Structure formats: C-alpha cells, structure tokens
C-alpha cells in the first residue's frame, strides 16, 4: 500500500503555522508498516490542490489531505475535489443538520458562513465529523482513494482513526516493525559513535538517529517476510542498542523524561517538589504534563524575585548578596528549602541566566546551577552542579528543565529499579 | 522569483519529528514577497531526494533543502546532490579543519563519524557553518540554484540569513505586503462573521483566518505594482479589520499574549504574581518566556497539593473541605493570597480539572475557575469566573493559561492604554 500525505493551507505556505498534521499522520501509517512516499504542502488554491492530488494519484493507493474545509472563503479543498472529479458541489442536508446541531450544543446559532461546510462534490462519500463542523470527503480517482479531512488537529485525528486507519489494518507486503528509543545527556555524534556499526545503512533492522530539543532518538526499522520475524529481529536490535547506550536511554516510543519520573514516583510513592528561578515554571509544567501527577508532585515555587527566594524558600539574603542569585550557595539553599517546606522526598531547584540579557564574564548567558535534594536517613542530602547550555533563551530554559528532570530520573534509578 | 522548499529526513516521513523548518523558511520568503510554490518532504533516500530536487528545478529559481547533512549513515543529501549533478564527493579540507576546531571549542576530539560532513560534490560551493559542524552546499542546475542546509533549526536559520536571504532582497515582480493580526477569545467562524465581506476571495488585499492553539490569526496579503502602494492598501485593510474586531485583537505578527502583557507591565511598572493549580506552572512559564520579565513578574506558586494552597497561599482548609479544591471560594482565596503575599499589583490564580481523570457531573473535565486580583485604593479587589474548556489535558491547560493571560491583558487595558 502506497500513501501520500497532502496538507493544504495558505497559513502553511506562508509559514504562519507549522504543519504538525503530516507528522502525526505519518506516525500512524508507519506504525502500520507504511512509510509515506512524501508529504506535500500547497496553498489554498484550487489549481495547486488539483495538481497535487493528480500527482499523488499517479503514485499512491491512498491520499490523505488535510485542511481547506473551514467555513471561510479561503477554504477551497471542496472546490478542488469537485474540479478533480469534474462534478458540481451539492448541498448535503444531513451534514447541514449536523452542523446546526453542533452549534446548538454550544448554545449558539449556526453562522451563515458555516453552510458551505455542508457542500460536497456530487458522487463523493461524506464522512461525518462528530468533533467539529466540517464533514470529511472521500472520492475515488481510478484505483486511488482520496480522503479530505479538516485541518484542525483533534478533529482530523479522530476522523483518521475512524475512517482511514481501518484500511491499513491488513498486511501490506513485507512486514515492518518499528521501535524508537529516546536518550538524553549526549549529543547525536556521541550516540552514533557508541552505536558504531549498528548504524550501517545496509543493515536490517535499520538504525537511525535524530535529535530534537536535546533528545536524541534512535529509530529502529525492521523488515521481514512475516510480522513475527520482523518483530523478533527488532527485539534483538533493541537489546543491542540498549546494551551500548545504557542509562542514556530513558524510554521507548512516546515516553517522555517526565513519564519515566512519574512511573517511578507513582510506583514507589516518592513525592517531588520544585523551586525554579530561570526556568520560570517550566519544570513544574513538564512534571504536571503527566496525567495523575497530583499523586506525587506536591508543588513548586517560581521564585523569580530575590524576595520570593528569601521569604518562601528561606534563602538567606546575605548569601544572595555575597554570592549572587546565580550561585551554588543559592541553589543549595533553594533546593533544601523546597524539600523541607514541602515535606517531599526529593526536590530540584534551578537558578541561572536564561538571557538574552543578564550575562557576565563569570556567568555568561546559559549558566545554570541545578540542585537536587533527597532524604537520607531523615537528613536532607544536597547535590549541586553547574551547567553551561547553548542557544537562545528558549533553548537554555528547555535544556535546563530537561537536565533537571533527567537528574531526577537518574537519582530515582539509584533508589528503585528503573 | 519562484521558490520550492524541500525537507529531507526519515524522522519527518516516519512522523517522529514535526517539520518546523519549512514554516520558518516560508515565513522568511513571504516576508520578502515570495510565496513558495510548495513544500515537499522526502525520506533519507538518495533516489527520492534526487527526484524531488529535479522536480523542483523544473519550476523554481531557488530550491532550499534542509536536512540529511548530519554525521550518520542515514544522512544522504550530500550523496543525492552529487548524483544530481553527476560528480563525485571530494573531501573539502578547510571544512574538516573547521569541524575539528568546533569540537575543540567544546573541549572534545572530533568523532571519526563527523569526517563525512567535510565531503562535498565536486564543483559545488561550500557554505561555511559557524554554528555547528555540517557546512551547507550550493549547486546550480540549469538556472536553478539549490541550497542544501543542515536540518538543525538554529544552524539552518543562521545560514539562511547569511547565504539565502540576500538573493531575495530585490524586487520580484508585483510587490507584496503582508501583516498578521492575532486574536483571542472568539472562534474562527465568529471572527469570520465579524469580518464579513472583507474576507471575499477576490479582494485585494486578501484577508484570511487560521486558528492554532485557540488563537485566531487574521492574515492580510496586499499586492500592488509598487511596495509603497502595497503597503498603503495593507494599512487601510488593517485599520478596517481592527475596527471590526476591537479588543479581540491582542497584537500583530509574532507578538504573543504575554508580550502584550509584558509591554504594559514594563511601561507602567505593574508587578504580577500567579498562583496555579491545574495549569501546574504553565502560566508562570508563559509569562517568563518574555526576556526581561523579571522586571515585572515577582513569582508564582504551583500549589498543586491542598497543603500548599493552605500553607503558602492562606486558603482556609475549611473552604477546601466544604467547596472542593475546584471552586470559586478557593480560587478567590488563592488569588488574594498571591496578591498579598507577593506584594504585587495584580495576580491571577487557576484551579480546575485538567483531566483525563478527576471529573464529576458538577465539575466535568475542562472546568476551570480563574481568579483575578488587583489593588483598588489599597484594597484587594477580586473577580472570579468559571470556564469550560474543550479537549484533552494538554488543550485544557493551554486554553486555561491563555485565558488567564488574556484576562490580565484586558484588565491592564482598563488601567493603561494598550
């Protein structure tokens, strides 16, 4: 089965919106053994859309297009599909009723502009949308099936699950099994060196690496005549990669650094607290991204001002005055304050220079002190380390937050099996 | 000038990474009056890359490709370009020296795998990379120029600024002027209704809307024979859009909700504090995303546990027991505690059910109470409002945080001109 993914929208071609839909769709297909031939993005333009759909139909069995089904005048995917199959647009009364009912559930009348969303090319199949207003449209061109779906991610995802993925349930030639392992704490070329010959391009399973936001991901793709064999070969390579990378690996697939911390804290009933300065709430936000985090996350202080560091965390004002807010002594006082005050089992604290202003020769932008406190036989045991992160404000904050959470993960691994 | 944007990488085609480079590139080009013909994404595959480059050369004057220049065996853009122009790969000694020097600056030896990054197709132009290891490569095919650049965003951006954008400085046919206005607080079809006939598809300037993360963006694109005329027509339409949408608009271009709050707080010396439960630090994180926020952001409490609400914010335990943690009484106590304790001029607090667990009939997932406290003649004036946000945990948290910041923006507008 060959697939092509199209995304349609001026906002994409003008660079005002990042196309996350194509990545999500690709992940769904590759999980089912289909690697899309390509993604293509075109503007809200009937002709450009028709050309992209025609090209795709020449190569693919399935074309999945998202976007251009909104209620406004620049949403033209309906018209493009009508042009492609040379049929007029007709009103689809059941869809109009559904759209009206959708607005009624929000206690509103349907704006007249939304009526266009009930128009579909004659002879096409209408795909009900239970999560928004625009129905999807399915047409057949030769032996290629084209799905046109809304661009709103959560509507698109639900509709793909209902209407598109069932097509991909059955075997499609050679079986494919894929796995991803996520690492933190080393650069891509260091990871590649550790992997060595496992990364040979002609190897099966094929092992590749990518880096995003400081996280180096190992992708493993195993092909074999049967799913069982593909899976078996995959597992062998996964084990080999794990042996070479050790603790750098924090988890598989979609598992985040925080998910790993959450698993251990949840299972071992370990409570965490956070005191943040330069990351401004990002560590707490990442920790509470995980559903159920209230079971182990007690809370955090975004101690941005010196007053708050003194008042809420008990950092002595003299230490701030003598050592500066970005210093080992301050981070140690912050983290022990957070541990003691919250009554948690473990705490992290961060203070640093996120930039772009505020750097000095001794403490340039990117300097971050991280402290980690834990209880040992009732006492508060504090460690602290200085880091130098590259990049702009956003990168420094992101890497600092992930480094703190990764330190929690490694520390938790010492007390409990990870 | 016609342009095509290519991105190359298995991680993109497998959906493991979202392609943000193409959006950034598109924004750079459209700011300079060039709307790319399309984006195309292909796998780390020599043949697929060669085909995509050939296709693009048939239509475009400039092709910008990112990705596939890394040090590992699955980075094949170099080989693809050599195949495209039918030349071998040669070692480029100055690049090898640069790569070695780059590692030396990090106190490390160059891993042997990185040597491949100094290989370039014979006869191509080497583009020095001062921000990472892989140099870019420039080749000419007929009258089309192809740039191949690293996929790492910050390296790619710097190299585009240095090597690619100078090509786009001069006029390119009809002049284009673009502006975007960002709104928060109404859905896309409500915004479209308010805009009415301004959104006609045959209008110039052309007005379109897109929605992302609850923010509806109005895109205005003005074409005219001269830049001055395009700009003049643009300004007229911007004024008309502003008149129709009023306070829904919070800013132009890249300006975020927080940027707007930061401008007012910075100028009027108004200090802010935050107390968060369900958003878990996200509001504080968004506020401190802005450089210089320490001038007006005093700090925040991530009062995830009831203990912290009581101990740090002075919420009476009886109120939590009687009304529940998600209640008007609790959010009022949280926000007045945050205001008083921090000595700020304004504070927001949030408590809600982010899900997926924890919902009830009276307080389903998505229920969030937001409180806003300000000083009026020395007294603490508190307002509170209940919201019901749609979507999953991540969406509920995101919309709740933005709604709180938007409320700050609107409240600040009453005291000071926004």
Percent of chain B with pLDDT over 90: 77
Percent of chain A with pLDDT over 90: 76
Q: How far apart are CA A230 and CA A243, in angstroms?
A: 20
Instruction: Kindly state the average pLDDT of the residues A119-144.
Output: 95
Question: Under an 8 A CB cutoff, do A27 and B17 touch?
Answer: no
Q: How far apart are CA B20 and CA A20, in angstroms?
A: 8
- Closest to B70 (Cβ–Cβ): which among A188, A221, A342? A188
Question: Under an 8 A CB cutoff, do B38 and A39 touch?
Answer: no
pLDDT in tens, A266-308: 999 999 999 999 999 999 999 999 999 999 999 999 999 999 9
pLDDT(B418) > 50: no
Chosen for mutation from B48, B208, B293 (greatest number of chain A CBs closer than 10 Å) is B208
Question: Under an 8 A CB cutoff, do B39 and A40 touch?
Answer: yes
A346 in helix, strand or coil? strand
- Closest to B43 (Cβ–Cβ): which among A20, A24, A35? A35
Question: Under an 8 A CB cutoff, do A15 and B35 touch?
Answer: no
Least Cα separation, residue B122 to chain A (angstroms):
23
DSSP B167: G
Instruction: Kindly state the average pLDDT of the residues B97-103.
Output: 90
Q: Which residue of B has its CA nearest to A12?
A: B23
B180 in helix, strand or coil? strand
User: Is B349 at the interface with chain A, CB within 8 A?
Assistant: no
Instruction: Kindly state the average pLDDT of the residues A55-61.
Output: 95
User: Is A79 at the interface with chain B, CB within 8 A?
Assistant: no
Instruction: Kindly state the average pLDDT of the residues B183-191.
Output: 91
Q: How far apart are CA A347 and CA B390, in angstroms?
A: 33
CA distances (Å), origin B319, targets B305, B322, B323, B333, B348: 14, 5, 6, 9, 19
- Cβ-Cβ pairs closer than 8 A, A with B, add up to 322
Question: Under an 8 A CB cutoff, do B189 and A113 touch?
Answer: yes
pLDDT band, residue A33 (cuts 50/70/90) = confident
Question: Under an 8 A CB cutoff, do B72 and A355 touch?
Answer: no
Chosen for mutation from B41, B100, B154, B400 (greatest number of chain A CBs closer than 10 Å) is B41
Q: What is the predicted pLDDT for the residue at B209?
A: 85
Question: Under an 8 A CB cutoff, do B73 and A201 touch?
Answer: yes
User: Is B102 at the interface with chain A, CB within 8 A?
Assistant: no
Q: What is the predicted pLDDT for the residue at B211?
A: 80
User: Is A60 at the interface with chain B, CB within 8 A?
Assistant: no
Chain A residues closer than 8 Å to B355 by CB: 291
- Closest to A219 (Cβ–Cβ): which among B16, B308, B355? B16
User: Is A38 at the interface with chain B, CB within 8 A?
Assistant: yes
DSSP B160: I
User: Is B190 at the interface with chain A, CB within 8 A?
Assistant: yes
Instruction: Kindly state the average pLDDT of the residues B291-308.
Output: 96
Question: Under an 8 A CB cutoff, do A285 and B282 touch?
Answer: yes
- pTM score: 0.79
Q: How far apart are CA B68 and CA B77, in angstroms?
A: 5
Beta carbons of A408 and A372 less than 8 angstroms apart? yes
Please state whether beta strands A39-42 and A3-8 pair in parallel, antiparallel, or not at all (unpaired).
parallel
Q: What is the predicted pLDDT for the residue at A173?
A: 62
pLDDT(A170) > 80: no
Q: What is the predicted pLDDT for the residue at B372?
A: 98
pLDDT in tens, A317-351: 999 999 999 999 999 999 999 999 999 999 999 99
Q: How far apart are CA A62 and CA A23, in angstroms?
A: 16
- Closest to A38 (Cβ–Cβ): which among B42, B114, B397? B42
Chain A residues closer than 8 Å to B342 by CB: 307-308
Residues in CB range of B181: below 8 A, 6 or more apart: B217, B218, B220, B238, B241, B242, B245, B249, B251, B252
Q: What is the predicted pLDDT for the residue at A418?
A: 44
Q: What is the predicted pLDDT for the residue at B350?
A: 98
Q: What is the predicted pLDDT for the residue at A189?
A: 84
Q: Is A14 or B271 the better-scoring residue by pLDDT?
A: B271
Q: Which residue of A has its CA nearest to B71?
A: A189
Chain A residues closer than 8 Å to B23 by CB: 12, 15-19
Beta carbons of A289 and B394 less than 8 angstroms apart? yes
Instruction: Kindly state the average pLDDT of the residues B106-124.
Output: 90
pLDDT band, residue A172 (cuts 50/70/90) = low
pLDDT band, residue A210 (cuts 50/70/90) = confident
User: Is B8 at the interface with chain A, CB within 8 A?
Assistant: no
Q: What is the predicted pLDDT for the residue at B148?
A: 98
pLDDT in tens, B46-84: 999 999 999 999 999 999 999 999 988 889 999 999 999
Q: Which residue of B has its CA nearest to A396?
A: B289
Q: How far apart are CA A401 and CA A399, in angstroms?
A: 5
pLDDT in tens, A71-121: 888 899 999 999 999 999 999 999 999 999 988 877 778 888 899 999 999
Is the backbone peptide bond immediately before B101 cis, with ω within 30 degrees of 0?
Answer: no
Dihedral angle computed from the Cα positions of residues A156, A160, A163 and A169, in that order, rounded to the nearest 10 degrees: 180
Q: What is the DSSP string of B8-71?
A: E-HHHHTTSS---HHHHHHHHHHHTT---S-EEEE-S-HHHHHHHHHHHHHH-SEEEEE---SS
pLDDT(A387) > 80: yes
pLDDT(A183) > 50: yes
ipTM value, please give it: 0.79
pLDDT(B362) > 70: yes
Least Cα separation, residue A142 to chain B (angstroms):
24
Beta carbons of B278 and B369 less than 8 angstroms apart? no
- List all residues of chain B from 161 to 180 with a beta carbon under 8 Å from chain A: 178, 180
Structure tokens given for A268: 């071992």
Question: Under an 8 A CB cutoff, do A111 and B22 touch?
Answer: no
Chain B residues closer than 8 Å to A364 by CB: none
pLDDT(A171) > 70: no
**Structural domains of chain B, ranges and CATH numbers in brackets:** 3-168 (3.40.980.10), 175-252 (3.30.70.2860), 257-415 (3.90.950.20)
Chain A residues closer than 8 Å to B74 by CB: 199, 201, 206, 208-209
- Closest to B299 (Cβ–Cβ): which among A26, A279, A304? A304
Q: What is the predicted pLDDT for the residue at A390?
A: 84
Q: What is the predicted pLDDT for the residue at B116?
A: 94
Least Cα separation, residue B411 to chain A (angstroms):
23
- Closest to A299 (Cβ–Cβ): which among B74, B208, B302? B302
Structure tokens given for B96: 């090898």
Q: What is the predicted pLDDT for the residue at B1?
A: 86
Q: How far apart are CA A54 and CA A57, in angstroms?
A: 5
Chosen for mutation from A46, A116, A288, A387 (greatest number of chain B CBs closer than 10 Å) is A288
User: Is B295 at the interface with chain A, CB within 8 A?
Assistant: no
pLDDT band, residue B170 (cuts 50/70/90) = low
> What average pLDDT is seen over chain B?
92
pLDDT band, residue A62 (cuts 50/70/90) = very high
Q: Is B318 or B108 the better-scoring residue by pLDDT?
A: B318
Q: How far apart are CA B160 and CA B162, in angstroms?
A: 5
> What average pLDDT is seen over chain A?
92
Q: Is B378 or B92 the better-scoring residue by pLDDT?
A: B92
- List all residues of chain B from 239 to 278 with a beta carbon under 8 Å from chain A: 274, 276
Least Cα separation, residue B140 to chain A (angstroms):
23
Structure tokens given for B33: 């009056």
- List all residues of chain B from 135 to 154 with a beta carbon under 8 Å from chain A: 152, 154
């Amino acid at each position: 089965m060959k697939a092509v993914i199209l995304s349609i929208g001026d906002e994409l071609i003008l660079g005002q919106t990042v196309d996350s839909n194509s990545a999500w769709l690709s992940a769904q297909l590759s999980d089912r053994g289909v690697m899309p031939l390509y993604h293509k993005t075109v503007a809200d333009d009937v002709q450009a859309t028709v050309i992209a759909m025609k090209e795709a139909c020449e190569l693919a069995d399935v074309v999945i297009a998202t976007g251009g089904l909104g209620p406004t005048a620049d949403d033209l995917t309906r018209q493009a599909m009508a042009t492609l199959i040379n049929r007029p647009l007709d009103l689809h009364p059941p869809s109009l009723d559904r759209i009206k009912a959708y607005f009624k559930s929000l206690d509103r009348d349907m704006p007249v502009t939304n009526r266009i969303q009930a128009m579909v090319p004659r002879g096409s199949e209408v795909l009900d949308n239970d999560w928004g207003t625009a129905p999807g449209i399915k047409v057949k061109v030769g032996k290629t099936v084209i799905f046109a779906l809304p661009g709103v991610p959560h509507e698109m995802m639900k509709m793909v699950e209902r209407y598109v993925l069932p097509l991909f349930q059955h075997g499609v030639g050679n079986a494919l099994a894929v796995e991803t392992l996520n690492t933190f704490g080393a650069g891509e070329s260091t990871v590649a060196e550790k992997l060595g010959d496992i990364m040979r391009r002609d190897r099966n399973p094929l092992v590749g690496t990518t880096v995003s936001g400081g996280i180096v991901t190992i992708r493993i793709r195993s092909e074999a005549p049967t799913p069982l064999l593909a899976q078996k070969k995959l597992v062998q390579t996964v084990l080999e990669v794990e042996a070479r990378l050790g603790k750098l690996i924090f988890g598989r697939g979609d598992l985040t650094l925080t998910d790993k911390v959450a698993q251990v804290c949840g299972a071992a009933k370990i409570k965490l607290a956070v005191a943040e300065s330069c990351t401004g709430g990002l560590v707490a936000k990442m920790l509470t991204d995980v559903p159920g985090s209230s079971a182990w996350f007690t809370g955090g202080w975004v101690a941005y001002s010196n007053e708050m560091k003194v008042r809420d965390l008990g950092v002595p004002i003299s230490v701030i005055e003598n050592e500066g807010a970005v210093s080992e002594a301050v981070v140690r006082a912050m983290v022990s304050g957070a541990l003691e005050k919250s009554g948690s089992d473990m705490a992290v604290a961060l203070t640093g220079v996120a930039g772009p202003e505020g750097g000095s020769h001794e403490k340039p932008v990117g300097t971050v002190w991280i402290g980690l406190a834990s209880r040992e036989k009732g006492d508060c045991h504090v460690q602290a380390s200085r880091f130098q992160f590259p990049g702009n404000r956003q990168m420094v904050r992101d890497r600092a937050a992930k480094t703190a959470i990764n330190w929690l993960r490694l520390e938790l691994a010492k007390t409990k099996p990870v």
